[in-house]
Chain A
């Protein structure tokens, strides 16, 4: 049985001034337990809107989202979120205290939560940095704190919203490698948003490609038939890459045409 289900989900933003904007329309998806699902699409296609609705930060305008059969009504500790930027870290808490935060809120005894926090900080390679504050650490290290923070809280599912988009290429590669190992070991489902095709193939067991916005929805679902080792020279890697690249190209062009048409209509 699917763990998370989107059925006919739409999201319409209604600003106080201006026309309503349909971000997502008729979005259907089932996320299976233990899969690493990558949601891929051109920028502005509503990927983050989909994640925010699953996280419970935003409510769908229409349709339903369920997690383990129960409707999603708001944020909860069963769905941990890793954000793109570092503004979700608590700057007044050390790395260790940031990782302990969720357990502290859920009244996990101090000794146990400290031990768990140390364990997960070591797992993401931050042992020795426990007592530093986020602003003393690099971008990659801050994202590691975020990852340790959600893992330590033992969620049912992990949501990641372009967590490595702001990192340099080398750090990004090493983080992807690490997240794949963590995901493999944790047996938890990941819902990972990216606009980077290579990242999606390097991590995902399944990739969902979104159409260009507005009123975006899923264009296609592609299974990635790659095992633990993911080499770019692998024929399967190349096959998936070509297929996804073609789709993204179509959508980017479609989006570009649409916006030129709209700007022309606006000028007329």
Chain B
């Protein structure tokens, strides 16, 4: 009897995880590779034939300059300083955002209390807060971390609270009638059901943090990728300016891919629909 039932109800498509050989998978990604190469090719063609200027270097000199800056340690140290600021501010901001977001999403009173605060402060761009941060904290690390926290917190609050609000009521009802206490309901249902929203909010906030840190370092810092950008502009080192821009693009891409990978690996069962 079980056989007939199994045959009637089996779901083949989603459960099969067929992995082709490494070479085959790389072949699947050829449009990606072509896309990247095409970008550089276009840059090369424009800078060598159409818009020839010392102010717009083609990719090869820029890459040579990048190799030089990596070899003498200037690029890695500045990238590392900026990354540390981003990670510290981002981690702290996400933590605060998740806690407040869970409270706002779970309790109506909290939502009403904090709504005016969140819905007004979030419209002050983190970049605008640089002025205040410098006045309050000077040009040290605290100012930068403050700005990153500021830029992260509201995005994470809003997506976390939205995640809590979107949990189907039947999930909570099922948990309660299976014997869960309110605390268990929070820990074992609300929290895991909100994870995909939290991660999505954090991913958006991370992109934001990159923008913010460059702006903050342009204005007030002794080290960091934004500082490197600003100083090379002062000395008209156009190659270095382009190295920094390229670095930002690559860094952002890599960090975002890491995030996507983490979401896919750790949270692909945490689909909000289920």
* Chain A residues packing against B (C-beta within 8 Å): 55-57, 74-77, 79-81, 83, 85-93, 101-102, 104-106, 125, 132-138, 140-141, 149-150, 153, 170-171, 174
Contact = CB atoms under 8 A, between A and B. Distances in A.
A92 B8 contact: no
Given A91-B274, A133-B269, A140-B9, A101 B170 contact: no
A207 to B, nearest CB: 24
Interface of B: 2, 5-6, 8-11, 14-15, 168, 170-171, 173-181, 184, 188-189, 192-193, 195, 269-271, 273-274
A10 B271 CA distance: 38
Contacts of B176: 56, 74-76
A87 B179 contact: no
B93 to A, nearest CB: 25
B264 to A, nearest CB: 14
B168 A132 contact: no
20 contacts: A74-B176, A79-B177, A81-B174, A83-B170, A87-B171, A88-B170, A91-B193, A91-B269, A92-B274, A101-B178, A104-B188, A105-B188, A125-B6, A134-B274, A135-B269, A135-B271, A136-B11, A150-B178, A153-B178, A174-B8
Contacts of A91: 193, 269-271, 273-274
A171 B5 CA distance: 8
A134 B15 CA distance: 11
Contacts of A83: 170, 173-174
Contacts, number: 103
Contact of A102 (B6, B10, B179, B274): B179
Among B11, B178, B269, find the residue whose CB has the most chain A CB atoms closer than 10 A.
Answer: B178
B168 A88 contact: yes
A interface, over-half SS: loop
The 10 closest A-B pairs by CB, nearest first: A91-B274, A77-B179, A102-B178, A88-B174, A75-B176, A87-B168, A88-B170, A75-B177, A105-B180, A138-B9
A56 B192 contact: no
B173 A92 contact: no
A102 B188 CA distance: 11
Given A92-B193, A171-B8, A136 B14 contact: yes
Contacts of A75: 173, 176-177
A89 B274 CA distance: 7
Contacts of B273: 91, 135
Contacts of A80: 177-178
Given A102-B178, A102-B179, A125-B2, A57 B173 contact: yes
A106 B177 CA distance: 12
Contacts of A89: 174, 274
Contacts of A104: 188
Contacts of B192: 90, 92
Nearest to A159: B177
Contacts of B168: 87-88
Contacts of A132: 15
A53 to B, nearest CB: 13
B106 to A, nearest CB: 17
Nearest to B4: A174
Nearest to B185: A105
A115 B96 CA distance: 40
A135 B274 contact: yes
A127 to B, nearest CB: 8
